[in-house]
A and B are shown apart, each in its own frame.
Chain A
Amino acid sequence: MTGKKSSLLELDARTKKRNAAEKRFQYFGIGAVTVGLLFLIVLLTTIVSNGTRAFTQTFVTFELVLDTAEIEAAEASFVKTSKYRDIITAQLAAKVEELGFETELTSADDLKQIFSSGAAGTLREYVLANPESIGTTEVFKFRTSSRVDGYSKGRVTRESLARDKNLAPAALDLVDQMQEAGLVDRSFNWTFITGSDASESRPEQAGIGVSMIGSFFMMLVVLVFALPIGVAASIYLEEFAPKNRLTDIIEVNISNLAAVPSIVFGILGLAVFIQFAHLPQSAPLVGGLVLTLMTLPTIIISTRASLKSVPPSIREAALGVGASKMQTVFHHVLPLAMPGILTGTIIGLAQALGETAPLLLIGMVGFIASNYPEGVASGFLDPNSAMPAQIFEWAKRADPAYYERAWGGIIVLLGFLMTMNMIAILMRRRFERRW
C-alpha cells in the first residue's frame, strides 16, 4: 500500500462533496413538488376566499304596509316600478325616523340607493301574484344594491365610495345602524345559482342559472353525438380496420386533433356551422357540435384503450361458438369495455364543460343571457351562454361586484367538474375488471 491511508469509516472530502450534491439534488426535487402543490393551494384558496361571498347577499327586511290606495295609484301610473319604489322608500324613511337612526339621508329619495333596482319589481310581482295581500302588512326581504352588499362583505369601504356616485358614504352609517337593529342581514343568495344574467349596472341581480341551462344543453349535444360516433370509430379502428395507409392516416389524424388548440375548433365552428351551414349564432346546438368535434379524440383514445384491455380469449370463445365478428364485438367485447368507455366519456364531457375559447368565436359571449329557454327546441336553438363563457363575461365587466360573481361561478363550475370526475373515478373502481 502506497499513498495516503484512508478508511471506509471516515468520509473523505470528495465523498462528502458527492453526498452533499446528492442531498442538494433531493432538496431541489422536494422543492419543486412543494412549489407545485403550493400553487395548487394558492389557486384553490383564492377561489374559495373570493368566490364564497357570491353565494350570500345582503337583504333589507322590514314590514311593509300594502296600502290599497297607493298600490292602485302605482298601477294606474305610467312608470309603475318607480311608484312601487317610492312606496318602499317612503315606508323605510318612516321606519328610520321611528327607530331614531341618526342619518343625513332623511328623504325617501336618498334611501333609494340602498335598494337594488330590482326591489320594486319584486314587490310588484308579489302584489300581482297575491292580490289578496293588498291592504295588509307583510314582511318583505328586499335585495340591497351591490354597493351596500359589498360594504357588508368588506369589499366596499367609505374611502372607495368617495369617488363613487352610486352610493353616498353617509348611507353606510345608516346601514350600520340598520344592521344593529336587525333590519339588514346577509343570507344565502339563491338568485345567484338559479337566476339569469343582469345588465352591467345591476350585479346584485346576476346569476348563473341560465348559462347553466345552456351548458346543460351543450353537454346533451356532446353526449348524443360524441359518444356514439366515438365508440363507432374506435370499434372500427380497433377491431375491423385493416392495417393499411388509410387507417394509419386516420390514427395520426386523431392524435394530432387531440393537440390542436381549442380556439382552432372555434374557427372551424364559425366557418362551417355558422358561415356555411347558417346555423343560429350563440346557440347551444352549435356550441355542442364544436365541443363534440373537440372531445371526439379524447373519447376515441380512451375507448380504444378499454377495447384493447378486453382479453382476446373472450373474442376467440365467441367466434368459437359461431358468432360472427360483428356479433362478437357487439355482444361480448363492447359490454365488457362499457365501464371504461363511460369513464372516458365523462372525463371528456368534463373537459368540454370547462372549455371557453371556442365558445367565444361562435358568439356565446357579449350579450346578456337573461331569458330561460322556453322549451327543448328553444334550449338548443335560442342564443344562450355557457357557464365558462358567463364567467368570462363577468370577468370583463370592470366592477368588483362582478369579479366576485365570476369567482362564485368558478366554484359552481368546479363543483360540476369535481362531481363528474368523482363519478368517473367511482365507476372505474366499481366496474373495472382486471383480467
Chain B
Amino acid sequence: MPVLWLLTLLLALALVGYVLARRRALASAGGNTRNLHSLPSYYGSNAALFVLVPSLLVLALWLVLQPILIGASVRGDIPPEIVSDGSSFGLVMSDVRRLADGLDAAVGQGAMSAEEARATEVNFDDVRAVLGSVGVALGSAVDTNVLRLAQSYRAISATFDMVRTVIVLGLAIAGFLYAYSRTNADFRARNTVERAILAILIVAASIAILTTVGIVLSLIFNTIEFFQLYPASEFFFSTVWSPSFGGGSELGMLPLLWGTLYISLVALLVAVPIGLLSAIYLSEYAGPAVRAFAKPLLELLAGIPTIVYGLFALLTVGPFLVSFFGQDGHLGVNWMGGGTAVMTAGLVMGIMLIPFVSSLSDDIINAVPQSMRDGSFGLGATRSETIKQVVLPAALPGIVGAILLAASRAIGETMIVVLGAGAAARLSLNPFEAMTTVTAKIVSQLTGDSDFASPEALVAFSLGMTLFVITLGLNVFALYIVRKYREQYE
C-alpha cells in the first residue's frame, strides 16, 4: 500500500478512535461530564494519540531503514563480474533502482502488465522502449543480470511494503484497543495528553540543536573526506588556489581568506564610522521628529535582500569606480582593470552593514545611564565632550561587540562578493584588484556538474567549516562582550 494511502488510513483510524473513545468516556460517566476526570475531548485525543504516535514512529523508521535493508540484500546478489569494468557496486545499484522504479512506473501507467514486469525472459530493447514511453530514460543496454536484480529488488520491496502495511496498521489498531480499554470515568486522560503535547514541544525545541548538529556533522564528515584526498597542511598554508577538475589542483585557502578579510575590512571602514556617528547623532542630538524619520529609513537598508546589493555592486558601483580609477578614468590613473574589485564589494557591503552597526550601537548608547551624562554636564562639559569622554568609553565594550558582529556578517556574506568581487584568487594589497572570498568559492565549487567525491567539490566543505568556525567564534565572543556589558548597567 502506498505511504500516502497508509497515512490517510491512519488519520481516519485516529478520527474513529477519537469519536469512539469520547463516546465511551461519556457513557462510563452516565452522560454527565462532571463525573469524568478530564473533559471528554481529552479521552478522544488520548485514543487518537495512541493510534497515531506508535504507528507513525514505526512508519518513519521503516521508511528510513527499508531502502538500506533492501539495498544490502540485493547487493549480496550482484555477481562480481558485472561490476568489473570500471564500475562500482553503487553504480550498479543505482541502475537496478532506476530500472525497478521504471518498471513500477510502467505498471502504474498501464504500459506493462504486472506479469510482464515480473517475467525474466523479456526482450530488452522492448523494456527500454516501454520505459522510455513512460518517461524513464535508461542507459544504452539493459543487462540480463541487472534486469534480474531489478526484479528481485521489486519482489523484495513488494514483500517489505506488505509487511510494513500490516505492522503499521496492526500497531494503530492495537494502540486504539489499548486506549479504548483504558477509557473510563476515572482514567486521567488529560495528564496523558498533556504529557504527549509537552513531548512534542520538547522535540520542536531540540530541532535548533539538531540543526547545529546537522551543520557540524555535514561539515566534519565531508572535511575529513577531503583531507584524506588532499593534505591538510597544503589546504591551510598554501598560497596558491587553482582548482582544475582534471586533477592536480592546488587548493590553498590563504588567498581566499585574505580576500575575505580584505573585503570585510573595507566594508567595516565604510560601515563603522557612518553607522557609529549616525547612531550617536540620532540618540544624542536629533529631535524626536528627525529620529522618527531617519531611523526607519536607515533600517530600510537592512531589509533589502543581498542579491539587490550584489547587482548594485556589479552593475552600478563597479562601472562607477572604473570611471574614476580605471583606464581613461576621470582621475587619469589606471588602477582598476574591471568593475569587480575588493573596493566594489567592500563599499557595497559597507552600505549594507550601516544599519546593522547603527542600530546595535544605538541600543548600546541608550543603555548608558543618564546619570553619567548628567554628571558630566554638571562638571561643565559640552555635549560632544560628554559623548567622547563619558558615553563612548562606557559603551566601548558593547560597540566593539557590535563591530565584531558586523565583521562576522561581512565574512559570511555571499551574494555581494559572488557578483562584485571577482573570481581570481590572489594575494595582493591593491584594493582595486579583483579578489575572491571563501563564500564565493564555496558557491563556485559546489555549483556546476562536479562530482561530489572529487577534492575540488569537497574543498567547499572544508571552506565552509573554516567559515563556520570563524563566524561562530566571532559571534560567541561578541555576544559574550555585549552581554557582559549589559549586565554592568542593569
A residues near B, CB below 8 A? 18-19, 21-22, 24-26, 28-33, 35-37, 39-40, 43, 46-47, 50, 228-230, 232-233, 235-237, 240-241, 249-250, 253-257, 259-265, 267-268, 270-272, 275-276, 293, 296-297, 300, 324-326, 350, 353-357, 360-361, 363, 365-366, 388, 391-392, 395, 403, 406-407, 410, 413-414, 417, 421
Contacts and interface: CB of A to CB of B under 8 A. Distances in A.
A229 B316 CA distance: 41
Contacts of A232: 200-201, 204-205
Nearest to A33: B278
Given A233-B208, A250-B205, A392-B415, 6 more contacts: A33-B278, A36-B274, A236-B204, A262-B414, A268-B214, A270-B446
Contact of B439 (A32, A240, A261): A261
Contacts of A30: 281
B305 A263 contact: no
B472 A260 contact: yes
B370 interface: no
B209 A249 contact: yes
A256 B307 contact: no
A266 to B, nearest CB: 8
Contact of A326 (B197, B221, B385): B197
Contacts of B200: 232
A84 to B, nearest CB: 29
Interface centre among A29, A50, A233 (most CB of B within 10 A): A29
A261 B475 CA distance: 11
A392 B310 contact: yes
Contacts of A366: 447-448
A229 B204 contact: yes
**Pairs of residues from A and B, 3 with the lowest C-beta to C-beta distance, nearest first:** A261-B412, A29-B281, A354-B305
13 contacts: A33-B281, A36-B298, A39-B351, A43-B308, A46-B316, A236-B204, A264-B215, A271-B214, A324-B190, A354-B305, A363-B447, A366-B448, A414-B304
A263 B467 contact: yes
Given A236-B204, A250-B205, A354-B305, A403 B315 contact: yes
Given A33-B278, A233-B205, A264 B467 contact: yes
Contact of A32 (B207, B278, B382, B468): B278
A230 B207 CA distance: 9
Q: Is the interface of B mostly helix, strand, loop or mixed?
A: helix
A381 B275 CA distance: 43
B476 to A, nearest CB: 7
A26 B281 CA distance: 7
A237 to B, nearest CB: 6
Interface residues of B, number: 87
B442 A263 contact: yes
Contact of A33 (B197, B282, B412): B282
B285 interface: yes
Contact of A406 (B280, B311, B385): B311
A350 B304 CA distance: 10
A221 B27 CA distance: 42
A116 B418 CA distance: 32
B337 interface: no
A46 B415 contact: no
B119 to A, nearest CB: 29
A321 to B, nearest CB: 14
A29 B407 CA distance: 22
Nearest to A42: B316
Contacts of A296: 207-208, 211
Contacts of B286: 33
Nearest to A276: B218
Contacts of B388: 25
A177 to B, nearest CB: 33
Given A21-B384, A268-B214, A29 B277 contact: yes
A40 B301 contact: yes
B97 to A, nearest CB: 10
Nearest to B461: A267
B365 to A, nearest CB: 12
B194 interface: yes
A65 to B, nearest CB: 41
